[in-house]
């Protein structure tokens, strides 16, 4: 069985972070493992508090896994602090997994900062150049490239700027712009649009986490990067289409639907 590792924060509400990642891995038939970087007290309406895990513990979790279990793909989500960014980059250079997908999580849907300001430079310098793919949303790409992204043209420019910063492949998610959520994939040479249709729902908690984990799961199963990205876009679209009315705020996406579908329990 193929394996995937998520290095991310825990979401007690179960919709984003480690919990969304592991659900995605399982739903896509990949054995999931986790390195927890932070514990958040969170639900569908807010992040109440955050406790960072110290960097020695993060190092220990990473080495425990890599010294025993083959890792076919890594997904990185919330890292929180500069220290965590540095230790994760250092360990990944040591263990050198073949595929690393970086979702540069900065701010939660509710506006809570999940990455300290002084960690952004470290993420750009130490992590961005060593990953296979970075999957920023529009505000994250604006922060990383120090530019405004309002139009399609701006999206192309942001991808080129991320390449200048050392990114090998970019998936710039367009969900935060008006209109349909079209994402732009750039492999350093060619641009490919992944077109979406906006689903009108408030239940979009953890969509970025789910998308990046699905990419990791497909890459672990030996899809090409472009194919993994396309299949992951289909996965998140269905997961949002069937998202769950759980909690009073932004509810989670639905990973179980895929399992029901595979088992022939529902019609597509």
- Using CB under 6 A, which of the segments 11-19, 89-97, 146-154, 177-185 binds ligand MP5? 11-19
For residue 211, the partner it binds in ligand ATP, ligand MP5, none, with Cβ less than 5 to 8 A by kind, is ligand ATP
The structure tokens listed for 182 are 């079209």
Q: Enumerate residues 41-60 that contact ligand MP5 by CB under 6 A.
A: 42
Q: Enumerate residues 110-149 that contact ligand MP5 by CB under 6 A.
A: 114
Residue 80 in contact with ligand MP5, rule: CB under 6 A: no
Residue 209 in contact with ligand MP5, rule: CB under 6 A: yes
- Using CB under 6 A, which of the segments 115-123, 178-186, 203-211, 230-238 binds ligand MP5? 203-211
Q: Which residue is nearest to ligand MP5 (CB)?
A: 17
Encoded one letter per residue, x for contact with ligand ATP by CB under 6 A and - for no contact, window 120-149 reads: -----------------x------------
Q: Enumerate residues 1-20 that contact ligand ATP by CB under 6 A.
A: 16
Residue 100 in contact with ligand MP5, rule: CB under 6 A: no
Q: How far is the CB of 196 from ligand ATP (least distance, A)?
A: 5
For residue 78, the partner it binds in ligand MP5, ligand ATP, none, with Cβ less than 5 to 8 A by kind, is ligand MP5
The structure tokens listed for 85 are 């960014």
CA distances from 242 to 3, 190, 197, 202, 252 (A): 26, 32, 14, 12, 10
Residue 210 in contact with ligand MP5, rule: CB under 6 A: no
Which residue of 75, 109, 242, 255 would you call a contact of ligand ATP, by CB under 6 A?
109
Where does this chain bind ligand ATP (CB under 6 A)? 16, 109, 137, 173-176, 181, 183, 196, 198-199, 204, 206-209, 211, 233, 236-237, 240
């Amino acid at each position: 069985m193929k394996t995937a590792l998520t290095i991310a924060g825990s979401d007690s509400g179960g919709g984003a972070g480690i919990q969304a990642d592991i659900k995605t891995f399982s739903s896509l038939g990949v054995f999931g493992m986790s390195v927890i970087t932070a514990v958040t007290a969170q639900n569908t309406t807010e992040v109440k508090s955050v406790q960072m895990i110290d960097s020695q513990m993060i190092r220990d979790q990473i080495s425990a896994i890599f010294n025993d279990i083959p890792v076919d793909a890594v997904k990185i989500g919330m890292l929180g602090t500069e220290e965590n960014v540095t230790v994760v980059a250092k360990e990944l250079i040591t263990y050198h997994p073949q595929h690393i997908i970086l979702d540069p999580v900065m701010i939660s849907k509710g506006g809570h900062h999940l990455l300290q300001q002084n960690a952004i430079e470290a993420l750009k310098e130490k992590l961005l150049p060593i990953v296979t793919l970075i999957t920023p949303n529009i505000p994250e790409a604006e922060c990383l490239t120090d530019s405004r992204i309002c139009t399609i043209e701006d999206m192309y420019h942001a991808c080129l700027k991320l390449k200048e910063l050392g990114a090998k492949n970019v998936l710039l998610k367009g969900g935060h712009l008006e209109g349909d959520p079209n994402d732009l994939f750039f492999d350093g040479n060619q641009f490919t649009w992944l077109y979406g249709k906006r689903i009108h729902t408030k239940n979009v908690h953890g969509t970025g986490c789910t998308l990046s984990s699905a990419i990791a799961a497909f890459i672990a199963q030996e899809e090409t990067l472009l194919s993994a990205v396309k299949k992951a876009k289909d996965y998140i679209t269905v997961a949002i289409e069937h998202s769950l009315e759980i909690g009073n705020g932004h509810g989670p996406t639905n990973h179980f639907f895929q399992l029901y579908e595979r088992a022939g329990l529902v019609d597509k």
